[in-house]
Amino acid sequence: MPNNFKLKTAQTTASLADMYTATSVTTTIIGMTMANISASSVNASVKIIKSGGTDIYIVKDAPIAVGSSLVVVGGNQKVVLEDGDAIQIVSSVTATVEVSLSILEMS
C-alpha cells in the first residue's frame, strides 16, 4: 500500500466549491491553512461532504483579518476522508482567500 504526500492549492469563490475529493483512497488531511489576500476582512468556511453520510462544517463563517491566516487543520488535529468524501471551501468574497491543503493519500 503506497502512501503519497500531496499539496493541493485553491482560491475561494463566493459559493461552496470542491477543493479535493478522495477517489479510491483513504486520505488524511494533515494541514489546512486559509490566507486572506485581500485588502478587507473576509469570512471563510470549510465543509466536509461525506459520501453516504452527514455533511458537516469544520469551520463556518470564520473571520480572517487583512494579512492574516486561519489554520483549519494542523498540529495534533487530523481529518480522515474516505473514498468519495470531499472538502468544499467558500469565502464571503470571491478570490480573496488562498487555501493550502496538505494530505496523505493511502491506497
- Dist. CA 61–CA 68, nearest whole Å: 15
User: 53: number of CA atoms within 13 Å, CB side?
Assistant: 12
Pick left, alpha or beta for residue 19 (phi over 0 → left; psi -120 to 50 → alpha; otherwise beta): alpha
Which pLDDT score is estimated for 104?
A: 96
- Write the pLDDT tens digit of every residue in 43-84: 999 999 999 999 999 999 999 999 999 999 999 999 999 999
User: Does 88 score more than 70 pLDDT?
Assistant: yes
User: Does 42 score more than 90 pLDDT?
Assistant: yes
The pLDDT > 90 percentage for the chain reads: 93
- Dist. CA 99–CA 9, nearest whole Å: 6
Secondary structure letter of residue 25 according to DSSP: S
Which pLDDT score is estimated for 1?
A: 62
C-alpha torsion 104→82→58→54, nearest 10: 180
Sign of CA pseudo-dihedral 49, 50, 54, 60: negative
Which pLDDT score is estimated for 62?
A: 98
Average model confidence (pLDDT) across the chain: 96
Which pLDDT score is estimated for 44?
A: 98
